Amino acid sequence: MCVVSVSMLLYSNQKLQKYKYGGIRKQMKKTRIVVISDMHVGSIYGLAPLDDVPQNKQSPFLLWVNEKWLEFCKKYNNPDYLLLAGDLTDGSGIKNLGVDAICTNLDEQEFMACKLLKFIIGSNTKIYGVNGSGYHCGQGQATNLDRRITERLHGEFKGSVFVFDIGEEKIQVAHVASSSMINPLTGILREIRLSKEDAQKRKTKSPTIIVRGHLHRALSVQDDAGVWGILNGCWQTNTPFMLQHTANITPSIGATIIDIEDGIAKVFRVDYPIPEDVRQAMFGYEQLKERTMTLKEKKDRQEWLRLQRQLK
């Protein structure tokens, strides 16, 4: 049985503001922000709706993570804001000819990602999106899947960085952090320092909460001034590319929740630890499990080869 670990971080360098009416404290409405990144829809190592995945491509991880995604959406659905921090799809996989792909068609990946995200979106949820990695969002193929998904969900696409002001908080969201997979702590601290230096130079307020994705590792750190740096979780297990760097880092499956109430931001990191049997089963999965290509995939493979020749 998988145990869900929920880490709560209290950001409290702002003084609690009291609102009085007739001698009774007036409660402010709580604002909830959900941050999602690195879904990598389209990869057998990522997330996808099961009813859109052929049975011979339903990997042990996909079966498990799909269940956790629905569990997550049921608990945290209908937020006030949904921030999409990039790499919502996996892309066509040109470099490895789509060996580890559920599908390589970008339109299908866009459709599946939107289908999944609709589980968490409420009727009044405001949606904002930023760029992910070019390789995963269609760079070189005259498209941007992160933008397409955000706009298809009736959200606003904000480019590479989105600064989100709400109350006394200033939240900065981007995909890539200036750090490595091996030592992410150094990178997120650098992001905090650089944001302060840049704000001072521009004579403006620096972010109070900095959120990044990309590294697939959930991590949080607070500096002496109370500024939080947060690496968001992901929805993809280790791929062969990741394992080339190290076999000793397990991705953090999950997302970040930010609740703002009475002048205080509470940041929840929602983690779903990957069961060991699922983790072990995914090592080299695309080589171990024989998969039959559909006619459509064969046509897609010819397209990959054509694109690869163009890139050389």
pLDDT values of the chain reduced to their tens digit, one per residue, 312 residues:
444 444 444 433 333 333 222 333 344 678 999 999 999 998 888 999 998 888 888 889 999 999 999 999 999 999 999 999 989 998 766 665 566 778 888 889 999 999 999 999 999 999 999 988 766 666 666 678 999 999 999 999 999 999 988 888 899 999 887 666 667 777 788 888 888 988 899 999 989 999 998 888 888 888 888 788 888 999 988 776 666 666 667 889 999 999 998 878 888 889 999 999 998 888 766 555 544 445 555 565 566 556 555 554
Residue 64: the pLDDT is 94
Residue 83 sits at φ, ψ, to 5 deg, of: -105, 120
Q: How far apart are CA 271 and CA 29, in angstroms?
A: 26
Between the CA of residue 111 and those of 89, 115, 118, 175, 201, what are the distances in Å?
10, 6, 11, 21, 42
**Which tokens hold the place of 81?**
């804001």
Beta partners for residue 259, in sequence order: 32, 266
In whole angstroms, give the CA distance from residue 144 to residue 136.
9
Q: Look at residues 74, 114, 101, 88 and name the one whose alpha carbon lies nearest to residue 300.
A: 101
Total residues belonging to the chain = 312
- pLDDT of amino acid 59: 87
- Token code pair at residue 285: 């999965």
233/212 Cα distance (integer angstroms): 9
Q: Which CATH number fits domain 5-311: 1.10.287.130, 3.30.450.30, 3.40.50.720, 3.60.21.10?
A: 3.60.21.10
CA 230, 120, 126, 33 torsion-angle sign: negative
Q: What is the pLDDT of residue 79?
A: 97
Report the alpha-carbon distance of residue 233 to residue 214 in Å, rounded: 9
CB atoms within 10 A of CB 239: 21
Residue 273: how many other CB atoms lie within 10 Å: 15
Enter the pTM of the model.
0.81
* Three-state secondary-structure class, residue 89: strand
Do residues 224 and 201 touch, judged by C-beta distance below 8 A?
Answer: no
Domain extent listing, the chain: 5-311
**How many Cα atoms sit within 13 Å of 45 on the Cβ side?**
28
Assigned token pair, 61: 């991880």
Residue with token string 């609690």: 16
Distance of CA 2 to the CA centre of its chain: 21
What is the predicted pLDDT for the residue at 57?
Answer: 83
Separation of alpha carbons 39 and 86, rounded Å = 8
User: Rounded to the nearest 10 degrees, how much is the dihedral formed by the CA atoms of 111, 117, 119, 120?
Assistant: -160
- Residue 166, token pair as written in the block: 């709400």
Give 255: exposed, middle or buried? Use CB within 10 Å, 0-12, 13-18, 19+: buried
